[in-house]
Structure 1
Amino acid sequence: MLQHVHLLTLTHRHAKLKEIGEIVAAFESEDKLQERLTALRQSQKVDELFYLSTCNRIILFFTTDREVNDAFRKGLVENATTDAIGEMQYLQGLKAIYHLFEVASSIDSLVVGERQILGQFRDAYARCREWDLIGDDLRIICDRVVLAAKDVYNNTRIGEKSVSIVSLAMQQLRRLKPKTDARILMIGAGQTNVLVSKFLRKEGCERLTVVNRTAARAQSLAASFPQGKGIALSELENYEEGFDIIVACTGSAEAIVTPELFHWLLAGDAPDNKIVIDLGVPADVAESTTSHYPFHYVGIEQLRALAEENMSFRREEIKRAHGELHQHLKVMENSYRQRLLERAMAGLPAEIKAVKHAAVNNVFAKELDKLDPEAQDLLMRMMTYMEKRCIGIPMKAAREAVLG
């Protein structure tokens, strides 16, 4: 059963991102994804088709009675110039379905426990249904995949204990309980500090000074804070307003916060209760600064160790997640068997009605004409009753046999 279900995939586990990108481009270039997938189904190479691409994987999940060999793969996209299609991992039947379970529940993700992949799966599923690529078989399977993934997130702790460096850094900051009116000095305005700024706004912080090589970029990032301002990095050595918290993340190859600069930035304050969060790689705060002054320091190596510890916790939860998925796989098999039964029995009511019609109008027509109206009415009501019962009995028996 379900041997007509197939999956081709290439992920971060088996290939370089460049190779994955080549296959994605073969399908999605020139905004012709819908056109190419529709053509693939209309060519009758596949009966139903689900397509998913993310930053580190591509999946083709489909039904066909054809052999999925090298020739089949090469024919998936016309005029494809990449050889990576031939490198795609191939799974069939329940193994293919179970892999889809693992993907949607983030067990197979680069970052285990991240819920983003379920949203991506649901969006791709909705799009393929809208494009009329999904039929009855993949509908049953994909609906169960979504339910299974939800149960993994709800019934295990696979999503607990953050593994994001920014989230962990902000957790450390929260534990130090800074004042809401703390003076925050942010060095760098890249993507990492953009994420940090979102956290700070959510926490109600108001006083933010952003320092960046480009002043305009710094001012843009600081503009969303009530008391926000941006200055150029070259002006940092003249900054006199002091700080309570420093958040540093730049691409500099050399440490920016030296002991001398740190002393200047203190503006006469004691260093004891100051907080410094250094997310730079390499570090933006010189080691001599951390060893010379007694402040609260949160560094990238400390956060990485914590992230790995949390990831180990999530990996342990994978065992429980597999238990959830195996239960859903059994339910999905039963649902599919029952659906096969419904399809097979779909013509039964019409066939029984035809038997009744033949009996009344052909086989026993003469005998019925000899009966008085009351007898005819009684007989027709009896036959209608038996017709309904004859439809229900075999369907019930077959359903019980399938579920058993």
Structure 2
Amino acid sequence: MLQHVHVLTLTHRHAKLRDIGELVTAFEGDGQLEQRLAALRGSGLVDELYYMATCNRLLLLFTTRREVDAAFRQALLGDRTIDAVAAMRHLQGNKAIYHLFEVGSSIDSLVVGERQILGQFRKAYKQSRKWGLIGDDLRIICDRVSLASKDVYNNTRIGEKAVSVVSLAMQQMQKHHPKPGSRVLVIGAGQTNVLVAKFLKQQGLESVTVVNRSLDRAEALAASFSGGKAISLHDLSYYEEGFDVLVACTGSAEPIVTPKLFHWLLAGDDPGGKLVVDLGVPSDIAEETVEQYDFYYVGIEQLRSLAEENMSFRREEIKRSHGLLRVHLEEVEIAYRQRLLERALAHLPAEIKAVRQNAVDKIFAKEIAELDPEARELMDRILTYMEKRCIGIPMKAAREAILG
């Protein structure tokens, strides 16, 4: 029934991120994505087309009666050759649609349970439709993806219990209840601490000092806070303003915060009320520092253990999710069959009206002309009623046959 529906996709599960990035660039380079996709549809290679790209996924959903073979893949990029095209996973029919369900409901995500992917799916759908690439078939499928995904999010606990290390670290920080005026010292300005910075902003923590080997990166991150400051890692041993919360995540092969440096950073404060979050691999807080000082310490190994425990919980919810998605797969087939019926019978009202008009104007015109006004009005009412019934009866019968 839906064998003309196909998915070609490259994800974090089957390829390196640089390969995905290379393929995205091939489609989106020079700002020509719309033109390239429109050319694919205009060439007749595909009938309808949907395109979505994220940091760890590229997905093409399309309808075609052609065979999706090596020649088809090559034609996607014209005369350009990208090795990653051959590595794209191909799914067809119900398997393709079910994969979309898994994507939208985050079962196939890098982080299971993250709802952001459904928003990305909808945004890509809106864009493809705006560009005139989406037709009736993909509209039905994409609408069902949204419904199925919301069903999973609303009726399972797949999104509960954080599984990302940063989210778990920030949950531990919340348990410590830092006050809005707390002094936060952030060592490192990489991607992990960029995420940490977003959380700090959400919590209203604005007194943030960012430390990094490269001062310009520290300044860029510190600029997002009203009370933000930046210093180089070289100058950390001269820092005298103290801290209430310390978050460290660098690429250093050796610990950054030794007992001696930690004593200096305390600036005379009691270590007992301090929160230290160490997200470095290897650790940025020396083991001797943790042993010698009594502070609340959150380490990467502790967070990883908790993440795996939470991930086990989400895996159980995935099993429940599949039960819901299978129901939606059946319903999308029914919805598609109904739409086929509507298309097939779309001509019926006009044909019945034409039969009525021919009977009135030609076949029985002489007899009708001899009727008095009241009889003619009654005849019109009877014909109108019969016309509606003649349209409704076959439509109803066909729907019942499909549902049956």
TM range (shorter): over 0.9
How has the CA–CA distance of structure 1 residues 142 and 225 changed in structure 2, closer, same or farther, with 3 Å as cutoff?
closer
Rounded Cα–Cα distance in structure 2 between residues aligned with 1:367 and 1:201: 84
Identify the residue that residue 323 of structure 1 maps to in structure 2.
323
* 1:31-70 → structure 2 map (5 Å cutoff): 31-70=31-70
Q: Give 1:130 shift.
A: 0.6
Cα drift, residue 346 of structure 1: 0.8
In the TM superposition, residue 126 of structure 1 has moved relative to its aligned partner by 0.5
SS of match in other structure, 2:272 = coil
* Aligned-residue RMSD, C-alpha: 2.1
Alpha-carbon distance in 1 for matches of 2:72, 2:221: 51
Match of 2:107 in 1: 107
Relative to structure 1, the CA distance from residue 67 to residue 203 in structure 2 (aligned partners, 3 Å threshold; closer, same or farther) is closer
Q: Per-residue displacement from partner, 1:123-142 (whole Å, max 9, x unpaired)?
A: 11001101111111111110
Match of 1:350 in 2: 350
1:301 alignment partner AA: E
SS at match of 2:13: coil
Q: Does 1:291 align with 2:291?
A: yes
Conserved? CA contact 2:74–2:81, under 8 Å: no
1:1-400 matches, cutoff 5 A: 1-225=1-225, 227-400=227-400
TM-score normalised by structure 2 residue count = 0.93
Deviations 1:36-83 (A, max 9, x none): 111111111211111112222221111122222222222222112113
Q: CA deviation at 1:114?
A: 1.1
1:383 aligned partner, one-letter code: L
- Asked whether the 8 Å contact 2:218–2:232 carries over to 1, the reply is yes
Letter of the 1:9 counterpart: T
Worse-superposed segment, 247-256 or 41-50: 247-256
Give, in angstroms, the shift of residue 187 of structure 1.
Answer: 2.0
2:252–2:284 contact (8 Å) kept in structure 1: yes
Contact 2:104–2:146 at 8 Å: present in 1 too? yes
Q: 1:221 to 1:22 in 2, by over 3 A?
A: closer
State the identity %. Answer: 70
Q: Distance in 1 between matches of 2:219 and 2:18?
A: 36
TM-score for both structures, normalised by structure 1: 0.93
Q: Deviations over 1:127-162 (max 9, x none)?
A: 110111111111111011111111211211111111
Paired residues in the alignment total 404
Please identify, of 93-102 and 367-376, the stretch whose mean Cα deviation from structure 2 is larger: 367-376
Q: Which amino acid aligns with 1:29?
A: G
> Matched residues in 1 for 2:85 and 2:77: separation?
9
Structure 1 stretch displaced more, 373-382 or 41-50: 373-382
- Aligned-partner Cα distance in 2 for 1:241–1:10: 49
CA–CA distance in 2 between the matches of 1:231 and 1:372?
A: 100
Q: How far off is 1:395 after superposition?
A: 1.2
Moved more, 176-185 or 393-402: 176-185
Q: CA deviation at 1:112?
A: 0.8
- Structure 1 residues 64, 202: CA separation in 2 closer, same or farther (over 3 Å shift)? closer
Change (3 A) 1:20 1:210: closer
In structure 1, stretches of 5+ residues that fail to align are: none
**Unmatched segments (≥5 aa) in structure 2:** none
- 1:298-323 Cα shifts (integer Å, max 9, x gaps): 11111111112212211211111112
